[in-house]
Amino acid sequence: MPRTPTTPQIPLYKKFADELAASISAGVLQPGERVTSVRVASQQHSLSVTTVVRAYELLESRGIIESHPQSGYFVRKTAMPASTPSAVTLLPPSHPATQQPHEVDVSRLVLATLRTIQQDGTIPLGSPYPNPALFPSQRIGQYVGRITRNSDSFSVFTDLPPGHPDLLRQIARRYLETGLAVDPEDIIITVGATEAINLCLQAVAQPGDTIAVETPTFYAMLHAIERMGMRAVEIPTDPLTGMDLDALEEVLRTQKISACMVMPNFQNPLGSMMPDANKKRLVDLAHQHDMPLIEDAVYSELFYGAAHPTSLKTYDRDGLVLHCSSFSKSLSSAYRVGWAIPGRYRNQVEKLKFLNTLATPTIPQRAIAEYLTQGGYERHLRRVRRGLLQQRDLMRHFVLRFFPEGTRVSEPAGGYILWIELPPRVEAMELYRRCLVLGITIAPGRIFAATNQYSNFIRLNYSYTWSAEIEKALKTIGKIVAELS
């Protein structure tokens, strides 16, 4: 006799969380009011303390309540609605796949933009850097202080490439924990991921060569190409699935491409993540055309899903992937410690590292290695990811609320940036200038391409703790956008 299908039971903590969310939505609890303590709620609803804690953590991840140390939980003053409108960036019409390479000249505009972020009192929505408050800076600083006081105990020669052995081992261990076996000897420590990208590009291409890049793309990629006198061919990139591999394949049929630079996980500025099948296909294409792939993986630790995303390196069988990353986005931006895993180009990259900057300072390497050794990195990352997800939902909600009709917003599955398409008549550079006068920084779309095809796009940083000032700034930007529409 066939069994009757049973309806899946909703876990108690989710049921309780939904009931409390409904009460908040109905106005039973007002923004800023204290939520019943865990102990009292446990008694009132005949639930275990663990169940109540899980329910409160779920509501916190939804941005409905927030915890105050030693005070309990409170309804957020800017509580999210039960559902947030969903909108995904639509890119403007892309160039044909057979487009010609372009000279790159974006460095002056990017430098001017970055300088404005450093001005005192500005609201740093245009910043490329994560909120420093996310990081365990005090703890790492303690390690730095202790190592500095005992500096006679180590040799200056540990500065030399490939890097300090303790850090190399800890990085390899971290990759192993995420499912990728890496030999510590294959890693080269660099001054941030930017140096890693520059060294890798220099190792595989020459001045005058053509490099395939995503469009839009992170301007550090364009800087590297510009600095070395190379040209860029821009490959259309989807806000959900990443680089258009059909377009790349067409380019490879008609042009000599010396390397491809790509950010497969939480691409800057789109926030897109390549599906695993696309990552594998990209590596296969590289193998067919003997084309090096320079992979920027700086945001890979900041995922919102249940599992760590795979990298291009996961599918690399012949050393064509030059994998670059750093701790600047996940642990500490103060010390600029990055690395490269350059595959078959390891020796060239190590030599170039020595010739370009000689070494990466030892003390930050040792301090970060000690932090990783002591444990707690994964717990730290879970807290950061949970907070960034809340911030993403809040900023998306208020952008869609304050900006005029026709605005489209990305919905990244990781990282801390939003890519926003404004109505067609809006000129992002004029918006940037007007906002700057009011002490608000944004990143105009023009700096993310070799060609000016993102004139009505901006990028916003949502890593900073939500505040009335940030909400007010978004409302102001929305008013200016409406004026320019």
CA atoms within 13 A on the CB side of 184: 11
Candidate from 46-55, 92-101, 382-391 with smallest mean pLDDT: 92-101
- pLDDT exceeds 60 at position 298: yes
pTM, whole model, 2 decimals? 0.80
- pLDDT exceeds 50 at position 6: no
Number of other residues whose CB lies within 10 A of the CB of residue 2? 4
Work out the average pLDDT over 407-420. 95
245: confidence class by pLDDT, cuts 50, 70, 90 = very high
Q: What is the pLDDT of residue 186?
A: 97
Work out the average pLDDT over 463-470. 92
pLDDT top residue among 81 and 409: 409
In order of 122, 200, 451, the CA distances from 206 in angstroms are: 40, 12, 22
- pLDDT tens digit sequence for 222-244: 989 999 999 999 999 998 899 99
Work out the average pLDDT over 268-288. 96
- pLDDT exceeds 50 at position 85: no
69: confidence class by pLDDT, cuts 50, 70, 90 = low
Work out the average pLDDT over 262-291. 96
- pLDDT tens digit sequence for 124-146: 999 999 999 999 989 999 999 99
Tokens of 232: 């860029």
Longest distance between any two alpha carbons in the chain, whole Å: 79
Q: Name the 3-class secondary structure at 293.
A: strand
pLDDT top residue among 380 and 63: 380
Most confidently modeled range among 149-153, 349-353, 362-366: 349-353
Candidate from 36-40, 280-284, 323-327 with smallest mean pLDDT: 36-40
Task: Give the orientation angle of helix 362-374 with respect to helix 137-149, to 10 degrees.
Answer: 120
**Calpha distance 288→270 (Å, rounded):** 28
Contact 262, 278 (CB under 8 A): no
- pLDDT exceeds 50 at position 481: yes
Looking at the DSSP bridge assignments, the partners of residue 75 are 65
Looking at the DSSP bridge assignments, the partners of residue 293 are 260, 321
Backbone angles phi, psi at 37, to 5 degrees: -60, 160
- pLDDT tens digit sequence for 178-220: 889 999 999 999 999 999 999 999 999 999 999 999 999 998 8
Q: What is the pLDDT of residue 403?
A: 96
Contact 187, 170 (CB under 8 A): no
319: confidence class by pLDDT, cuts 50, 70, 90 = very high
Name the residue with tokens 């060569």: 209
- pLDDT exceeds 70 at position 4: no
Name the residue with tokens 């007002």: 30
Name the residue with tokens 């040792």: 366
CA angle 472/477/483 to nearest 5° reads 130
Q: What is the pLDDT of residue 61?
A: 64
**Calpha distance 368→57 (Å, rounded):** 29
Q: What is the pLDDT of residue 117?
A: 65
**Calpha distance 349→410 (Å, rounded):** 35
Q: What is the pLDDT of residue 46?
A: 86
Tokens of 60: 């916190």
103: confidence class by pLDDT, cuts 50, 70, 90 = low
pLDDT top residue among 100 and 228: 228
Work out the average pLDDT over 23-31. 78
pLDDT top residue among 30 and 432: 432
DSSP assignment of 94-123 equals: PPPTTPPPEE---HHHHHHHHHHHTSTT-B
Please, what are the domains in the chain? 12-75 (1.10.10.10), 103-133+379-484 (3.90.1150.10), 135-377 (3.40.640.10)
Which residues touch 433 (CB under 8 Å, ≥6 apart)? Answer: none
Looking at the DSSP bridge assignments, the partners of residue 339 are 189, 325
pLDDT top residue among 87 and 283: 283
- pLDDT exceeds 90 at position 17: no
Most confidently modeled range among 146-150, 345-349, 464-468: 345-349
Number of other residues whose CB lies within 10 A of the CB of residue 135? 20
Q: What ranges in 256-345 are assigned the alpha helix state H?
A: 276-289
Tokens of 131: 């909120």
Bridge-based pairing of strands 102-103 and 408-409 is unpaired
Radius of gyration for the alpha carbons in the chain, expressed in angstroms and rounded = 24
Question: What percent of the chain is predicted at pLDDT more than 70?
Answer: 88
Sign, CA torsion 223/224/230/234: negative
Tokens of 406: 């026709």
Residue 472 identity: K
